[in-house]
Structure 1
């Protein structure tokens, strides 16, 4: 059994996400060392609950581990050029092995082409179309993870454009709002070697929330 970590390290001094990290106590002051840390739950690798986009959507309280863990399928679209929409045709061609109840891993290997510590990660990324999102939903997946900023309008925080209505956040609208659990800002998908695997998505147990930081790992059987 091989374990692959798909989680982005949480670090300070990120240009988009502020992380407050400091020592609550140190060895010098006695009693051992303890680190205090705080950040937006939608930063770095995290899980969204439907409450993130729907005031009536369920929160993290309703998300059980069987909704975030189980059989996974790698949908490899790493040949999609930068700054290009990802069509339903591209997704369907890459994902014939998807099965109902799968955790879909949409792999652009974008972290290998742009650093998440730079604006280019957002400004040059490919993005999902509504049609691609609907195709995935109709396959009956239960959860999904992306290694790129998957909605085109996410980049608007950099361009200064006004964020559009929810339907233009196509994955949030067509997947998350329909109860498909979403994990964002995964990394290291290039280390995955098999089309099917087991995904373990472990959000922190943060009650009644629109999301939570998460650790996501994949288990692959030995070849």
Structure 2
């Protein structure tokens, strides 16, 4: 069995969505003074590698803490879209190329290679994003969730969050953003474990996402 970490490390200097407060990691207790170390974490619920719930956009949507834990674990497939250039979209072409395997997956993760820009200003540029047709496919095929190695399923210019709303309206789907290392997983199905921090009325949360490969 091989396990691959798909998670960016949270730090005070990490990229954050424009307009969001950066995380703060303050040493609250020290070995010298208290005999132990403890850190006070202050951050938004959609910091770093994170998960969106339907409640992120809809008042009556499901919060992450109301989901059964099984929602966050399942068979997944990484689809390679790394040939896309700036501003190009992830279309059904990529799913159709692996249609039979995608049908068996509970989660679809799109590898664009954009995570290599993590920590640079271009990370917030014209990254690839999914089309409405891809959203329809994910909804109609009853996927548990979708994930990407970019900051959003919507282009940075779309303040209406069109794709978010399409995916999360009247569904219990989850969205994972800012994944990393998807190129290490390979082309076959694997087990995805993406557990969000559990807090009250959880509209979204940082996750520790890992790929568990068979064999």
Decide whether aligned partners of structure 1 residues 192 and 128 sit closer, same or farther in structure 2, where only a CA change above 3 A counts.
same
3-state SS of paired residue (1:99): helix
Which one of the candidate residues 132, 152, 163 is aligned to 2:159?
163
Whether the 8 Å contact between 2:78 and 2:110 is mirrored in structure 1 is: yes
Q: Which residue of 1 aligns with 2:101?
A: 97
Q: Which residue of 2 aligns with 1:140?
A: 142
Following superposition, the deviation at residue 88 of structure 1 comes to 2.2
**When the two structures are superposed, what TM-score results if normalisation uses the length of structure 2?**
0.89
Following superposition, the deviation at residue 89 of structure 1 comes to 2.6
**When the two structures are superposed, what TM-score results if normalisation uses the length of structure 1?**
0.86
* RMSD between aligned residues: 1.9
Deviations 1:43-95 (A, max 9, x none): 10111111001111011232121111011112221222222122223333244
After TM superposition, where is structure 1 displaced by more than 2 Å over at least 4 residues in a row?
Answer: 13-17, 88-96, 149-153
Whether the 8 Å contact between 1:68 and 1:103 is mirrored in structure 2 is: no
Q: Which residue of 1 aligns with 2:47?
A: 43
Map residues 9-24 of structure 1 onto 2, 5 A cutoff.
Answer: 9-14=9-14, 16=16, 18-24=22-28
Residue 126 in structure 1 maps to residue 122 in structure 2: no
Whether the 8 Å contact between 2:50 and 2:204 is mirrored in structure 1 is: yes
Mark the runs of 5 or more structure 2 residues left unpaired by the alignment.
Answer: none
3-state SS of paired residue (2:32): coil
Mark the runs of 5 or more structure 1 residues left unpaired by the alignment.
Answer: 157-161
Following superposition, the deviation at residue 220 of structure 1 comes to 0.4
Following superposition, the deviation at residue 194 of structure 1 comes to 3.7
How far apart, CA to CA, are the structure 2 residues paired with 1:102 and 1:40?
28
Aligned residues: 210
How far apart, CA to CA, are the structure 1 residues paired with 2:49 and 2:77?
19
How far apart, CA to CA, are the structure 2 residues paired with 1:205 and 1:146?
22
